[in-house]
Structure 1
Amino acid sequence: MIIENRSSGILLHITSLPSAYGIGDLGPEAYKFADLLDEAGQRFWQILPLNPTETGMGNSPYSSHSAFAFNPLLLSPDLLFKDGLLEKKDLKPNYTFRNDRVDFEAVTAFKKAICTKAYINYRRKDNFKMQQAFEYFREQHQSWLQDYSYYVAFRNYFNGKNWLEWDKSIKNRKEKELKKLAEKLEEEIEREQFLQFLFHRQWEQLQDYCNKRDIHFIGDMPFYVSHDSADVWANPKDFKLDKEGRPTSVSGVPPDFFSETGQLWGTPVYNWKELARNNFDWWMRRIDHNLRLFRLLRLDHFRAFSAYWEVPAGDDTAINGKWVKSPGHELLSLIMKYHPEKPIIAEDLGDIDQPVRELIHAFNLPGMVVLLFAFESNDIAFESSFLPHNHVKNSVVYTGTHDNSTTCAWFQNATPATKQIFSDYTNQKITKNNAHEVMLRLAYASVSQLAIVPMQDVLGLGAEATFNKPSTIDGNWEWRLKPGQFTKAHAKKLYKLVKLYGRLR
């Protein structure tokens, strides 16, 4: 069992923190939040992937052009100023940002401008200590950093086009032409590497601050990567592509109760035979990279480690897909060989069959139980594995996840029968005003070793605070915590509950 002590945490992505710059970042508010987590008796801070996001991809942290790189939008201008890379005047945006939502277009423009200024100031100043740290970072992260910085610089050079549309010699990574273009774009390449260094520097400072307070990060790793990414461009043999680099098969999930045509995600699927020839080197580097950042790592779409839904490229829906077996056992065996502490959480939601359960059991991994799924009104409701009396110790219980509505919004939209089951199960009258408190207590009282509650459920927020609505594009990933919204009073209340339910260390 990887979670040694009965404990609890809060789910809040970095983008949702308060800040004066339109988006949460790794600056002062992150440290204030860590202090409140400590006061609240929390031992884990769960976040979403830290990879770069794009407005063209709906700003989703699960759709990125790199599986390794960090999101420069999360850099703290205040810390850049503290490091002497910005001036006071740079901290005053021309745009008035909202404090409750992220305006990604405006934020991207602002952050791009100050990141450029930070790099220019670095080049101008003789900061030997920072130069040494930057060089060390480049050496330590060489396996992905060069490909990523080349990809970003080249993509800008080719006017933002997909790498399939680049000059053939660059698209096919001809060494002589790559070197020639890299020399031409040397400054832009270094700039991208410098931004990655700055992020890593700010992250390590925050991580160290949290760890000293016995607060640890839970990260999240998507299973697939986008086709238009540094990873696929640099490692085409590791994916099912044709001679031109186009996917021959893509990812998705099959038709189910919620969708007659399934979900077509469209990312390329892995060429597992090729990956196995190299002993899954790319995957292992990716896992190692994440586990240097986080104490625990949630593997998203875990069922694909058993079998994944493969759809012929060019199909408009996922109907014609098929299940294809994955070498998940071999891959997980390697992960456990190098990480025997088993720092993995299996996201085992959705269409889970017996082979997936056996895989989780074989490696004794904690799965997820989501309370919002527990009280549906049907004849077998009380056989649900999501109900507290069916929870197991080696699991992580959530009131809801980033893909769910808030508890209060769920209750408002629930059927009368579902509300009645919820009320009967807890033996009390439940309303839209106390639903979140009742659900939180159920999570804390659960036998599950770790309980995670989204910040929206701690505060009892409604539908306006929903973070992501799957299968939709607009308005996702934008919700933010307002300044002063999570207070010492909230922390004190949580501390009492943590203590009451034996989750205090």
Structure 2
Amino acid sequence: MDTGISPPKDAGVCLHITSLPGQYGIGELGDNALRFILSLEVMGFSFWQVLPTGPTGFADSPYQTQSAFAGNELLIDIETLLREGWLLESEVEGLAALPTDTVDFGSLIPLKRTALNAAVDRFLESAPGDKLAACQAFADEHDSDWLHNYAVYRVLKAQHDEKPWFEWPEKYASRDPEAIAAVEADNATEIRRVKVLQFMFREQWERIRTYARKHGVRLLGDLPFYPAYDSADIWVEPHLLLLDDAGKPAEVAGVPPDFFSEDGQLWGNPVYDWAYHAADGYAWWARRLRYALALNDEVRIDHFRGFEAYWSIAAGAATAGEGRWVPGPGEALFDALREQLGELPLVAEDLGVITPEVDELRARYGLPGMKVLQFEISDHDFGPHKIGAGNLCYTGTHDNDTTRGWFLGGANDQRDPDEVRRNREAVLAATGGAEDTVHLDVIRLALGMPARTVFIPAQDLLGLGSEARLNVPGTTEGNWRWRMALRDLRPELCEVFRTMTTEAGRNPQVAAAGV
């Protein structure tokens, strides 16, 4: 029944954990995350959107993770380990010498893994009984589901020079029971280390989530559409994906040519065997989503349109343009998820080639979609009606240039100069602003839209240009590296955004006070 009462509106900030400030080479789950949450509260934001937090593999992409369930141990906070006595200052000197304005993954990964192994060994030697019991309880809870298999996978991967599982010797790739039993017996210490690191990740994550709730900030997580081919999930359950008799991809995923890439995006990972998932009642999807919702308040599902139809490309094709649309599971999947999990606090990433059928699927389950001002603002028919209360509104996403970079036409911009000029004119006409304040003007425009929630990338809050772009789709070099500085969210800037969220009726503190 329509009560005539509009639902409350709010706003949030997009910032991946790796982009947080800090002195050990990468953003981490420590005090700087808590400080960021406090800044969100001060500015009147009630959501923090993060990218997937799984252990990264190929090209350091958070959308190509080695597990659909595990956490990325690179995000474990070094300061916390020092404070708890699991690390010594001398053991993190190399990490402390890394740059603070970018993530140098090549240098970071070996240094951090060495430090984390030292921390685990000291934890197992000297942690109090209640802490060891909590760690064991975590393992007992998750071992049979995913943790033990993930730990064995990581140990084998390390022993085979980080090669993907499908390049291991056959007895390991095919999970020969005798071979795996021997690995477990010979590597009990290394397997336990992996499990302890997952406990540490979960413990630090829960600290952040508890603090966020205390300060009125909800976490919006992110679920990649596909698991990586080289992942513990597919090593253990290859039938989840459509593979040939040799265990190789028969078809691979991607998206057709679009705004982001004129050749489309050839992701290269195998597509799902949806017939298997249907026969299994979509149990793996339910497990995966249940776990994601245990860590986050809401979850954004990447590439939602793939549930209606997905772009499938023959293995070996040169570009994604050679693909075709194949029907996805549609309502059958979401009916099964709703039956197993109840109402679904999900956000549908419905960007790209969207058909009426995709919109109908999203609307059937009451899922908000996404509208990105960088795509909408140049439309001749642009206005609040194009955004709608049933959507989330973004100034840009992790795949876009920053607002300032997009306005000026950054280095990776595929638009011609005339299109960039016309876009600038459209932006200035829509905002009534000026070039030097374009990021603030676009943020103000977004906050004034009827969308339930408005999300702003942290780079836009700071007014940064293309140098702060996080990802260029279709490329594998130089992405996921940008980081904030400790000094960036200064008090006077926080006050600017507190005023903006308040004036837009999106500051929950002001609304609660009845101001």
Tell me the TM-score normalised to structure 2 length. 0.92
Which digits, 9 at most, give the CA deviation of each residue in 1:414-434, with x for residues without a partner?
A: 6222222222223x2421x21
Query: Which residue does 2:110 correspond to in 1?
Result: 109
| Correspondence 1:327 to 2:329 | yes
Q: Name the counterpart of 2:303.
A: 301
Name the stretch that deviates more: 269-278 or 201-210. Answer: 269-278
Q: Does the 8 A contact of 1:367 with 1:394 survive in 2?
A: yes
Structure 2: which amino acid aligns with 1:503? Answer: R
Q: Which of 421, 443, 459 does residue 462 from structure 2 map onto?
A: 459
Q: How does 1:218-233 map to 2 (within 5 A)?
A: 218-233=220-235
Provide closer, same or farther for how the CA distance between residues 263 and 136 of structure 1 changes in structure 2, counting only shifts above 3 A.
Answer: same
Taking the TM superposition and a 5 Å limit, the aligned residue runs for 1:36-51 are 36-51=39-54
Q: CA deviation at 1:175?
A: 1.9
CA change 1:429–1:159 in 2 (3 A) is closer
> Does the Cα contact within 8 Å between 1:78 and 1:91 map onto a contact in 2?
no
Amino acid corresponding to residue 422 of structure 1 in structure 2: V
1:5 is displaced (CA, Å) by 2.7
Cα deviation digits, residues 216-257 of structure 1 (max 9, x gap):
111111101211111111001121112221111111122457
Q: Deviations over 1:164-213 (max 9, x none)?
A: 22222222122222111111111111111111110000000111011111
One-letter amino acid of the structure 2 residue matched with residue 156 of structure 1: A
Offset from partner CA, 1:96-142 (integer Å, 9 cap, x none): 22221111112112211110101110222252111111111112222
What is the TM-score when the length of structure 1 is the normalising length? 0.94
- 1:442 corresponds to: 445
Sequence identity percentage:
37
Contact 1:297/1:343 (CA < 8 Å) preserved in 2?
A: yes
Supply the distance in 2 between the matched residues of 1:8 and 1:425 (Cα, whole angstroms).
20
Aligned to 2:203: 201
Letter in 2 for 1:416: R
The question of whether the paired residues in 1 share the 8 Å contact of 2:261 and 2:474 is answered with no
Given that 1:40 and 1:494 are in contact with CA atoms closer than 8 Å, whether structure 2 keeps it comes out as yes
Residue number in structure 2 paired with 1:482? 485
Q: 1:452: how far off?
A: 0.6
Q: In the alignment, which of 379, 382, 393 is matched to residue 380 of structure 2?
A: 382
Cα distance in 2, alignment partners of residues 254 and 304 from structure 1: 12
2:490 alignment partner AA = T
Unpaired runs of 5+ residues, structure 2, are 410-418, 509-515
The 2-side partners of 1:258 and 1:90 are apart by 42
Q: Contact (CA 8 Å) 1:65, 1:228: kept in 2 or not?
A: yes
Distance 1:409 1:352 in 2: 26
Counterpart-to-counterpart distance in 1, 2:152 and 2:273: 24
CA contact (8 A) 1:51 1:61 kept: yes
* Residue 418 (structure 1) aligned with residue 423 (structure 2): yes
Note if 1:430 corresponds to 2:434: yes
Residues 256-405 of structure 1: pairs in structure 2 closer than 5 A:
256=258, 259=261, 261-376=263-378, 381-383=379-381, 387-405=383-401
Name the SS of the counterpart of 1:297 in structure 2.
strand
Question: Is this contact kept in 1: 2:95–2:112, CA < 8 A?
Answer: no
* Residues 439-460 of structure 1 deviation map (CA, whole Å, 9 limit, x = unaligned): 0011111100101101111111
3-state SS, counterpart of residue 8 of structure 1: strand
Q: Provide the C-alpha distance between the structure 2 equivalents of 1:449 and 1:318, rounded to a whole number of angstroms.
A: 34
Q: Which amino acid aligns with 1:80?
A: L
The amino acid of 1:161's aligned partner reads K
> Contact 2:286–2:341 (CA<8 Å) still a contact in 1?
no
Tell me which amino acid in the other structure corresponds to 1:124. E
Shift of 1:280: 1.0
Q: 1-side partners of 2:303 and 2:204: how far apart?
A: 29
Cross-structure match for 2:59: 58
Q: What secondary structure sits across from 1:19 in the alignment?
A: coil
| Higher mean C-alpha displacement, 333-342 vs 455-464 | 333-342
Deviations 1:299-352 (CA, angstroms, capped at 9, x unpaired): 001100101011111222223322111113111122233444431000000000
Q: Distance in 2 between matches of 1:150 and 1:140?
A: 17
76-85 or 87-96, larger mean C-alpha shift: 87-96
Does residue 7 of structure 1 match 2:15? no
Name the structure 1 match of 2:476.
473
Query: Alpha carbons of 1:499 and 1:319: their partners in 2 closer, same or farther (altered >3 Å)?
Result: closer
1:260 & 1:21 partners in 2: Cα distance?
38
When the two chains are superposed, the root-mean-square deviation of aligned CA atoms in Å is: 1.8
Alpha-carbon distance in structure 2 between the residues aligned to 1:393 and 1:271? 35
Are the aligned partners of 1:371 and 1:400 in contact in 2 as well (CA < 8 Å)? yes
Q: Counterparts of 1:42 and 1:126 in 2: how far apart (Å)?
A: 38
SS, match of residue 122 in structure 1: helix
Q: Is the 8 A contact 2:24 2:95 kept in 1?
A: no
State the 1:215 CA deviation. 0.6
Paired AA for residue 386 in structure 2: N
In 2, Cα distance between the equivalents of 1:149 and 1:355?
Answer: 41
Deviations 1:374-432 (A, max 9, x none): 233xxxx2335xx4342211211010111111111111126222222222223x2421x
**Is this contact kept in 1: 2:44–2:501, CA < 8 A?**
yes
2:493 is equivalent to residue 495 of structure 1:
no
2:249–2:270 CA contact under 8 A, matched in 1: yes
Q: Note if contact 2:304-2:349 (Cα within 8 Å) is conserved in structure 1.
A: yes
